[in-house]
Chains A and B, each alone.
Chain A
Amino acid sequence: MIEAHAAAVSGGAAEHAHDEDHIHPPPATWFTKYVWTYDHKTIGKQYLFTAMFFGLIGGLLAMLIRWQLAYPGQPVPWLGSIAKAMFFFDDNGAILPEGYNQMVTMHGTIMIFFVVIPIIVGAMGNFLIPLHVGARDVAFPFLNALSYWLYLPASVIIFASFFVDKGAAAAGWTSYPPLSAVAEMAPGSGLGQTFWLLSVFLLGFSSIVGGLNFLTTIITMRAPGLTMWRLPLVTWAQFVTSIFQTLATPVLASAVCLMLVDKLTGSSLFLPAGLHLTGDKAVGNSGGGSALMWQHIFWFYSHPAVYILVLPGMGVASDLLATFARKPIFGYKVMVFSMSGIIGLGFIVWGHHMFVSGMNPMVGTSFMMATMLIALPSGVKVFNWLATLWGGNIRFTTPMLCALSFVAMFIIGGLSGLFMAATPVDIFIHDTYYVVAHFHYVVFGGTLFAMFGGIYFWFPKMFGRMCNETLAKLHWAVTFITFNAVFFPMHILGEGGHMRRIADPTNYDFLLPLQPMNVFISISAFVLGAGQFIFLGNFFYSMFFGPKADPNPWQSNTLEWTTPSPIPYYNYEKIPTVYRGPYEYSTTVAEGQADWLAQSTPGADPAEHH
C-alpha cells in the first residue's frame, strides 16, 4: 500500500517537475497587475467586483418591481422624481407598464448572467480551482483573461441597453419570439433587444472559454498525489459545471444568432405566417418560422444554466459543512455521482419549462418522467449533507450559517419543484408566483447563501484580512429572515393563481384578496435589500482595515490554506504533494492533536486504514 502510494506520488512529481523550478516574474506594472492580468486570483476578483456592481443594479430593479406590485401606479419615492426622464417612469415618477416589463426582463437577465454565474463560476471558480488542484495558475491564463474581457463588454452592452431608444429588452429574460423578434410588438424589442442578444452572445463565449479552461486545468494540472477522488467537492462541482458550460452554451449562442438574423436581416426563422400587428397590419417578413423552436433551443441551454447556477453552490456548501462540522463529508463519491447524474439528466429535462407551451403532450410526459428522476440526485445530496452534520462538532461561524441556510432553503426549493414536475398540477401553477418562489429558493436561498458563505470563508485568502464576524452574522440573520418573508408567501400568491410578470395584479378580481400579501412581501424585500449594505460595508471595510488573517483561520484541510494570506501571485512556492482527501477531520490518526489534517501534510491517508 505504502509503496504504491509513494510510486504514485513520485510519478506525479516527475510529470509536474517543470512547474517546481519555474516561477514567472511578478507583474511589473499597475496595468498588468490589476487590469490586463493573467493571474487567476485577480481575474476572480475582477469578476467579483463587476458582478457585485451588477448585483446592486439587479437588486435595485427588484426593489422597483416590488414597489410596483405593492403600490401599483404610485410614484416611486425619491427615485421616481430623479429618474422621471428615463423610459421606466411616467411624469409623476410612477412606473409605466412597459417600464415594468423592462425591469422584470433586466432583473432576470442581470441576476442570472451578470451576477450569479460570474460570481459562483467566474469568481469562485477562478480563484479556487488552481489553488485546489495545487497549480500556479489555470491551464490557459490568456484565455482566462479573455473570458473576463468578453464578460466586461457584454456587461457594458447590457448596461447601455437601458439608455437606447425605447429602452431595454422587455420580453422577459426568456425573450420568447415573436414578442422579442418584432420591433413593433414591444417597446424594448427594437434596439434594446438587439443589445440584449449581442450581450448574451458575448457572454456565452466568455462562459465557453472559461469552462474549457477549468476542465483542462482540473484534468491536467493536479498536484502530485492529487487524484480526482481527492479533489474538494467545490472543485468537482466546478468540473461538472464546466461540462455544462462547454456543451450547452454553444446552443444558446446559436439561438441568439438565429434571432439576431431575424432582427437584423428581416428573415423569419421564428415567425410563422400570418402575424398581424394591432390594426390588422401584417408583419412583412413573417412566414415559415416556428415560435416554439426558440423555446426548445433556449431551454436546452437555460435549463442546464439552472444547474450552472446551483451546482457550484452545492460544492461550496459541501466544503463548508465538512469544515465546520469537523467531519469528513458523508458519501464523498456518492456526492460526485449525484452531480454526474444531474449532468446526464440535466440535458433532457428542458421541456418541463414548456408543459403548457403547445408542445406535444406526449413529449411532455417523457420530460415529466425525466424531471421526476432529476429530483433524485438532489435528494441524495441533501441526505448526505444531513448525515455529514450527524455526529459532528458543529462550529457556527458565518460561513457555516450560510451553508446550513443553503441546505435548508435548497430543500424548500427542491420540494416545490415536485409540484411543477407533475404535469397536471403544473398547468395551474405554471407562470405564476409559485414558479418565482421556487427558483428564488434555489438561486437566492441556495446559490446566493452559498456565495455569501464562500465569500466570508475565502475572504481571508482573497484579501489577507478577516471580515467582521458580528456584522457578518447580523447580515446573515437579516438576509435569512427577510428572504423567507419575501419568498415563502410567493408560494401562496402562486397558489392563488397570481401570474408572473403582470405589472398590476389589482386589475384582476380574483387576485384582490392576495394584495395585502404583496404589500407584506414588498416591505420585507425593502428590508432585505437594505440589509445587503451591511455586507457591502463589512466587505469593503474589512478589505482594507480588517484584522490580518492567519494562513489557516478556519483550520481547514485543503491546499489553499497552506499558503500565506493573502496568497502570493505564484500561489505555491513549491508545488505541494497531496497525501489524502480534503475532508480528513477528526481522524484517529491525528489523535490527541488538532482535529484536522491538511491534504499536503506528509503521512498516511487515514481513509485507507479506515
Chain B
Amino acid sequence: MARAARLTALLLGCFLILAMGGAAAWATDGAKATQENWTAWSYMPENINFAYGQKTDYLYFVIMVLVASIFFLTEGLLLWFMWKYRARAGHKATYVHGSNTLEVIWTVIPALILIWLAFAQRGTWAEIKQDFPAEKDAVVIQAFPEQFQWNFRYPGADEKFGTKDDITTVNVLTIPVDRKILIKMTSKDVIHSFFLPNLRVKQDVVPGMLTKVWFVANRIPVWDLKKQQMVFITDAEFKAKRIGFGSTWRWTSAVAEGDTTNQRKLSYEKNPKKPTGTVLAGGKVEKEQAFESVDYVLHRCEVACAELCGLGHTKMRAMLNILPADRYAAWIEEASEEAAAGAEKWTTIWDKFHPDYNADPATAAVAPHGK
C-alpha cells in the first residue's frame, strides 16, 4: 500500500497544480474589462462584439486552460506509465484492486470544477439568449431566410414593420456601429442558421417559430490597401481616416491560374472605367478622389448559414455592412424613399403568417420561446 500512498500524493499534487491553474484563470476575471481579445492566440475570427462576445471568448480561454491542464496531466501520466511499467524479465505487476481514497479524490475534485464551470457560464448565456434589449432601445431588423438566400427587412423611416416604406434587402445586412441590434427571425422553408463569425452569433432560424439574436458591432471592417487585408477599426478611427467607397475600389477575388485548391486571392483593384471615387474624410464626403488617396476601403463581414439547408446551402452567404451612425441614417432615409415607391415581395408571406412577430415591443410579451 506504500506505493498506492505515493500515487495518492502524486495525483493530489497534480490536482493541486490543476486547481491553482483554475484559480489563476479565475483571478484574471478582473482583467476581462480591460483586455479586448481573449482569443488572439487562436484561429478564431476577430471578435468585434463587445456586448458579450468578449465574455464568450474569455470562457473559451478559461476552458482551454483547464482542458490543456487535464490533457497534459492525463496524457503525460499515460506516456510515463507506459514507459515506466513496460514489461521486463523478472518484473511483476503490483496486485492491487483499487483505492477508495483515490476514487473519492478524482471524483470530487473534477465534480467541483465542472459545477463551478457550469455556474460560471450561466450568466453569460442568460445575457445572450434571455435578456434581450427592449425593441425601443435597439435597431430592429427582421430576417426571413429561404432556400438559398437571406432576406432582411428594416422598418424604414417610420420605424414600423408592415408599412409601405419597409426596406427589404437580399443577402446584404446593413447595421450601424456601436448600437444594439435585435434581429427577429423566422424561416420561409427549412431550418437555416444565422451565423456571424466575427460577432460570435449563431441562432437557428426555424419555420413556424420566432427566434431572436442581439449583438453590438463595435468595430467597422475596412480593407487596408497597402497590406491587402481586412482590418477592424473603431468609429473614432473611421472618422479620423480617409475611407474610400463605391465602384472605384473594385473587389476582386480571383482564383490564380492553375490553382486547383480554389485559393482565391482577395484584394481591391482600381476600376479602370472609374478611376476616381467618393471618400469619407472626417465625417465629410469628398468626391472625385484618386484610388490611392485613401487609408482604407470600406469593407464588410460575412453572414453564413450554419445548418444544412439543401443543395445550395454552401452558397447561402450574405454580406454584413457595418456603418457609422450618420452613414447608416443616410442609407435608411434613401432606401426608405426608394422602397415606398416599389412593390413588396416576401414580406407579404411574413405578414400573413406571422403578424404577431411584427408586434410593437411595448405591448408584446417577451417570451423566450418565441411564441
Residues of A with Cβ closer than 8 Å to B? 70-74, 96-98, 100-101, 104, 170-172, 176, 178-179, 182, 185-187, 271-278, 280, 283, 289-292, 325-328, 330-334, 356-358, 360-362, 364-365, 368-369, 372-373, 375-376, 379-380, 382-384, 386-387, 389-396, 404, 407-408, 411-412, 415-416, 418-419, 422-425, 427-428, 430-432, 492, 495-497, 499-510, 512, 514-516, 519, 585-588, 595, 606-607, 610
Q: Least Cβ distance of B257 to chain A in Å?
A: 15
Question: Least Cβ distance of B229 to chain A in Å?
Answer: 10
CA distance A379 to B69 in the complex (A): 14
- Selected from B55, B74, B85, B190, the residue in CB contact (under 8 A) with A390 is B85
CB distance from A389 to the nearest CB of B (A): 4
Chain A residues near B208: list those with CB within 8 A: 272-274, 289-291
B31 at the interface (CB under 8 A from A): no
In contact, B78 and A360 (Cβ under 8 angstroms): no
In the complex, are the beta carbons of A390 and B81 less than 8 A apart? yes
Known contacts A275-B207, A291-B209; can you find 15 more A-B pairs with CB under 8 A?
Answer: A71-B260, A170-B311, A179-B190, A387-B7, A389-B85, A391-B85, A393-B85, A394-B82, A394-B86, A415-B67, A422-B60, A431-B195, A508-B304, A509-B266, A509-B302
Residues of chain A within 8 A (CB-CB) of B114 are: 372-373, 375-376
Which residue on B lies nearest to A331, using beta carbons?
B98
List chain B residues, Cβ under 8 A from A588: 95
How does the 8 Å CB contact mask read for B282-310 relative to A, with 1 for contact and 0 for none?
A: 00000000000000000001101111111
User: Which residues of chain A have C-beta atoms less than 8 A from B331's C-beta?
Assistant: none
Indicate whether A394 sits within 8 Å of B85 (C-beta atoms), given known contacts A179-B190, A275-B207.
yes
Taking the closest CB of chain B, its distance from the CB of A289, in whole angstroms, is: 8
Complex contacts, B91 vs chain A, CB 8 Å: 393
Contact B313 A97 (CB under 8 A): yes
Q: Is the CB of A372 within 8 A of B118?
A: yes
**Which residues does chain A contribute within 8 Å of B122, judged by CB atoms?**
365, 368
Question: B44: CB under 8 A from chain A?
Answer: yes
Sorted nearest first, the 5 A-B pairs with minimum C-beta distance are A272-B208, A274-B353, A391-B94, A361-B129, A331-B98
B121 at the interface (CB under 8 A from A): yes
Q: B242 within 8 Å of A by Cβ?
A: no
Min C-beta distance of B79 to chain A, whole Å: 9
Residues of A within 8 A of B59 (CB): 422, 424-425
- Select from chain B the residue with minimum beta-carbon distance to A501: B308
Of the 9-residue stretches B159-167, B174-182, B197-205, B271-279, which lies at the interface with chain A? B197-205
Give the residues in chain A near B3, CB-CB below 8 Å.
391
Query: Given A97-B313, A499-B304, is A419 in contact with B264 using a C-beta cutoff of 8 Å?
Result: no
Contacts of A423 in B (CB 8 A): 121, 125, 129
Q: Check if B81 sits within 8 Å of A422, measured CB to CB.
A: no
User: What are 21 contact pairs spanning A and B, CB under 8 A?
Assistant: A186-B190, A186-B311, A273-B353, A291-B191, A327-B93, A327-B95, A384-B98, A387-B102, A393-B92, A394-B87, A419-B64, A424-B128, A425-B59, A496-B43, A497-B45, A499-B195, A500-B306, A502-B313, A507-B317, A512-B266, A587-B95
Q: For residue B119, which residue of chain A has the nearest CB?
A: A369
**Contact status A383-B106, CB under 8 Å:** yes
Q: Are A422 and B121 in contact (CB under 8 A)?
A: yes
Check A274–B352 contact: CB distance below 8 A.
yes
Query: Residues of A contacting B82 with CB < 8 Å?
Result: 389, 394, 404
Q: Given that A332-B97, A428-B56 are known contacts, is A97 also in contact with B314, CB under 8 Å in the complex? A: yes
Taken together as a complex, chains A and B put the C-alpha atoms of A278 and B302 apart, in Å, by 23
Q: How far is the CA of A238 from the CA of B310 in the complex (A)?
A: 38
B87: which of A100, A185, A395 is its contact (CB, 8 Å)? Answer: A395
The distance in angstroms between the C-alpha atoms of A514 and B261, with both chains bound, is: 11
Q: Is B77 an interface residue (CB 8 A)?
A: yes
Identify the B interface with A (CB < 8 A). 3, 7, 11, 42-45, 52, 55-56, 59-60, 63-64, 66-67, 70-71, 74-75, 77-78, 81-82, 85-88, 91-99, 102-103, 106-107, 110-111, 114-115, 117-118, 121-122, 124-126, 128-130, 146-147, 188-191, 193, 195, 197-198, 200-209, 211, 230, 253, 260-264, 266, 301-302, 304-315, 317, 346, 349, 352-354, 368-370
C-alpha spacing A607/B313, complex, angstroms: 60
Q: Is the interface of B mostly helix, strand, loop or mixed?
A: mixed
**Chain A residues within 8 Å of B302, by CB:** 508-510
CB B162 to nearest CB in A, in angstroms, measures: 16
Name which residue of chain B comes closest to A333, CB basis. Answer: B98
Residues of chain B contacted by A100 (CB below 8 angstroms): 314
Least Cβ–Cβ distance between B227 and chain A, in angstroms? 14
Task: Tell me the nearest residue of chain A to B107, going by C-beta.
Answer: A380
A430, B193: Cα distance in complex, Å: 10
Q: A70 to B99, alpha carbons, bound, how many Å?
A: 50
Give Cα distance in the complex from A585 to B202, angstroms: 53
Task: Select from chain A the residue with minimum beta-carbon distance to B370.
Answer: A358
Tell me which residues across on chain B come within 8 A of A430, comparing CB atoms: 202, 306
* B255, closest chain A residue (CB): A506
CB-based contact B311/A98 at 8 Å: yes
| Chain B residues near A97 (CB-CB < 8 A) | 311-315
Q: How far is the CA of A610 from the CA of B94 in the complex (A)?
A: 12
Chain B residues with CB under 8 Å of A501's CB are: 308, 313
**Considering the chains assembled together, what is the distance between the CA atoms of A98 and B310 in angstroms?**
7
Which of A271, A390, A515 is packed against the most chain B CB atoms within 10 Å?
A390
CB-CB under 8 A for A506 and B262, given A101-B313, A415-B67: yes
| Contact among B42, B77, B188 with A386 in the assembled complex (CB-CB below 8 Å) | B77
Q: Kindly provide the distance from the CB of A584 to the nearest chain B CB, expressed in whole angstroms.
A: 8
Among B106, B189, B230, B301, contact of A380 (Cβ-Cβ < 8 Å): B106
